[in-house]
Each structure stands twice: as C-alpha cells, then as structure tokens.
Amino acid sequence: MKAVLDHVGIAVDRLDDALAFYRDALGLEVSMPEDVPSQRVRAHMLDTGGAALELLAATAADSPIAAFITKRGPGLHHITLRVDDLPATLRHLAARGVRLVDTEPRTGAHESLVAFIHPSAARGVLVELKQAPPPAVRLATASMTLGDLTLTALHDGPFRLDGGAMFGVVPKPLWEKVSPADDRNRIQLAMRPLLVESSWGRLLIDCGVGEKMPEKARDIYALDRAVHLDHALAERGLDAAAIPFVLASHLHFDHFGGATKRGASGLVPRFPNARYLIRDAEWEDATHPHERNRASYLQDDFVPLKPAGVVDFYTGDVTVKPGVRVVRTGGHTGQHQIVYLESGGKTAVFAADLIPTIAHLQDPWVMGYDLFPMETLAFKRRFIREAIDREYVIFFEHDPLVLAGIIREQEGSGGAKRFVEQIL
C-alpha cells in the first residue's frame, strides 16, 4: 500500500497571529480560505512545495476545532495521507483491526473522498485518509461549421504523460498550477482526432492510440479504454467503415496507434475502406527510429498499412483535399505537421503536438519530447502571432477540457498575456 503525505492540519486559535508567522514571517503562499460549514471551520492552505500546511480556525463556538483547542490547546491537529483507492485501504485497515472513525469514505473538499482513523490507532495522531478526485477530462464530441466544412472534434479516451516531459524546461512549480500532476507526476491529457466532412466526403485527422497497447504501457500511460474512438464515431452515427480518408499529423503512437488493429491473422488497417494519407519523409523517419524516438514510433501502428496497399504517400506541404492543407512545422519530429482547414474565408488549424494543450500557449512552453525544440519555438512564435492576428480557430488535440478555441492576447502589467476563448 502506498500513502503520500498530502497536508498537515494545524488548529489555530488566533488566525491573525498564525498568518503573521506562516505567511508573513516564513513567506509561505496562502491560497483562498475555504469554509467547511459542516465542521464550522475555515481552512487556509499554505503551499510548501510538497505536502501543504492547513490552518484550521473555528467559525463557531461549537466547532470541533474549538473543542479541540479547549481540550489540548492550539497546534498539530491531524495529518492527511493520500491513497489511490480509499475503499480498499479502509477494508485493508479494518481487516488488520485498526480502529476507524469512518468505515466508509465520505465526501471532503473539492470532491475528494476522505475517512478518519481513530487517534488511538496511530499513537495519538488523528490521521485522515484522502483519495483525490481523478483530474477532469472531457470525453465528448463537438462540431462546428467552417464555410463548406463541418469540423467535429472526436476523442479516443484519456491518457496521461509525464508532466516534466510535457513542459520541457519549464519548472514544475509553474506548470503544475495549470496542469496538476498525479502521484506519478503525470498530467491528464486527451487524444482528439478531428473529423472533417464536406461534399468530397469525410477525412479523419489522426486516429488516437487504438487497442494494441500491452498492459504495462496501459498502466504507464493511464490508458482507460472504457470510451474510445468507436464510441465517439457512434455518437455521430458513424463507424470505422464510414471513413474513406485518414490523414496523419505524424506517426507517434498517441496519434496514429489507432490506424491498425489485430485481425484474425495479424495486424490489419483499422478503417477497412480508408486510404491513409502519410507524408513520405515522416514515414522514412518513423520506419528508421533511433534511441530517442523509438518509444514513440511503434512499428505495428503503421508498417502493416503498406503491404495492405492502403497508403497514399505525398511529398511536402500539399492540399490533400479541398480546404485541407498540411504544413510542416518540424520541431516535435523532423516532419511533424499541422493541418490548415480553410473555407468561406475562415481558417481553423489542427495544431497536433505544436500546441498540444492550452497550457502550451506561451512560446517557451515547449515539450521535452520535441527532437528539435528550437525549431518548435521558432515556428510556434510565428504561428501563434498569425493565429491571434487572423483569429484562427485552433483545435487542441491533447487538451483535457478545451476542444477548440481562438487564441487572444490581453495587455497586463507583466506584458501581453495569452488566453483561449473557448469555442468547443
């Protein structure tokens, strides 16, 4: 069983004196106070980098905190340990004869589940167990019209990647404010292929991770396949057979793993009626991986497509269908590309791994995964300027919550600040 120290609760009688020490003298950052009416208590969290300190002040004379202070004076009140599976932990402790205050979890702050262990079981310390709520991820499809094109953000379920790798040189205290990490330092992401429909037919840009991942990788990437691309297509009245064209932004497993599936006699194209549109130079790189990119280019994802005779290779930046144009960005991989969708004088862009989430809007927030980060930086700086000026609708392939939006800029004291006006 694994338990991580989440925070230490301190009962305070005079809140101003407590803040004078912890906030003003020690210089700890205090988050917004939170009232817990059922306990008649106001809690101030103090950030210490790892586990937090929680100052607990009674808001009424009959508060349990007031009773505690009357009996024992101000000071250490409880410690809180975070566990992955609280019901299982409580069963485990009960089976060992540990005296529990709560035998069933109850709802704590921010939709977490909590339960208390009796102080007599922990040598006089009140121990709170907590199971954090899973990070939010939106698994929904949504559409918009762009001139003659209908654009539908689909999804292929959630996954998680190492937060450090997702933000490159950006220090964790900065990125974890916008993308909270789990106990394994992973951040919540989604995989969102984009369906483009027009009079010429349907084209799917990227196709998620698919079902081939072995158990160990499913665990590492927190893959949950309860809902995936087939469900997203079904929500739109479609199935894999209804897709005549599949375009790859690049051939990494989280973008093109869903291109093949296991058939009765080996790997076969997952979309039985589709032509697969792949940039020739990306295919070259993907089929000749090196130590740095081997874990991302899984050969089973794309190699079987060629003997099946379903690949249409193209060279350079081309218009693959009316209104659908690929542009090489490089950076992330040597041939990584984004997709411009243009119709009726309007532009949307499928940004793939150039701007994987809305947390990556600032120019230097470049992924550690990128093979050529300076190339990413140069392209991104130019592209985001263009996107702001021309009000492009950007599709964020990996954002857990925002499917698409327009990047805006607001002048502030620290210079121009970018944000996304959410469209989908």
Nearer to Zn ion, 301 or 353 (CB): 353
Q: Are residues 128 and 114 in contact, defined by beta-carbon separation less than 8 angstroms?
A: yes
The least CB distance from residue 318 to Zn ion, in Å, is 21
Using CB under 5 A, which residues numbered 226 to 265 contact Zn ion?
252, 254
Q: How far apart are CA 43 and CA 6, in angstroms?
A: 15
- Count of residues in contact with Zn ion, rule CB under 5 A: 3
The stretch near Zn ion (CB under 5 A) out of 1-9, 166-174, 235-243, 345-353 is: 345-353
The least CB distance from residue 360 to Zn ion, in Å, is 11
Q: How far apart are CA 85 and CA 70, in angstroms?
A: 35
Q: Are residues 324 and 341 in contact, defined by beta-carbon separation less than 8 angstroms?
A: yes
The structure tokens 């009773």 sit at: 67
The least CB distance from residue 4 to Zn ion, in Å, is 28
Nearer to Zn ion, 54 or 370 (CB): 370
Nearer to Zn ion, 252 or 328 (CB): 252
E-strand spans in 206-300? 245-247, 260-263, 266-269, 275-279
| Interface with Zn ion (CB under 5 A), residue from 353, 354, 379, 387 | 353
Residue 155-174 contact track with Zn ion, rule CB under 5 A, x = bound: --------------------
The least CB distance from residue 117 to Zn ion, in Å, is 42
CA distances in angstroms from 73 to 15, 58, 77, listed in the order given: 14, 13, 10
Look up residue 248 and give its two tokens: 């790859």
Exposure on the CB side of residue 163, measured as CA atoms within 13 A = 20
Nearer to Zn ion, 156 or 353 (CB): 353
Q: What letter does residue 288 receive in the DSSP assignment?
A: S
Nearer to Zn ion, 63 or 335 (CB): 335
Q: Is 370 in the site for Zn ion (CB under 5 A)?
A: no
Nearer to Zn ion, 186 or 252 (CB): 252
The stretch near Zn ion (CB under 5 A) out of 6-14, 52-60, 215-223, 350-358 is: 350-358
Minimal CB distance to Zn ion: which residue? 252
The least CB distance from residue 166 to Zn ion, in Å, is 9
Q: Are residues 43 and 28 in contact, defined by beta-carbon separation less than 8 angstroms?
A: no
Nearer to Zn ion, 131 or 188 (CB): 188
* Distance from the first to the final alpha carbon of the chain: 40
Q: Is 235 exposed, middle or buried (0-12, 13-18, 19+ CB in 10 A)?
A: middle
Q: What letter does residue 25 receive in the DSSP assignment?
A: I
The stretch near Zn ion (CB under 5 A) out of 36-44, 70-78, 276-284, 348-356 is: 348-356
DSSP-derived 3-state class of residue 20? helix
| Interacting residues toward Zn ion by CB under 5 A | 252, 254, 353
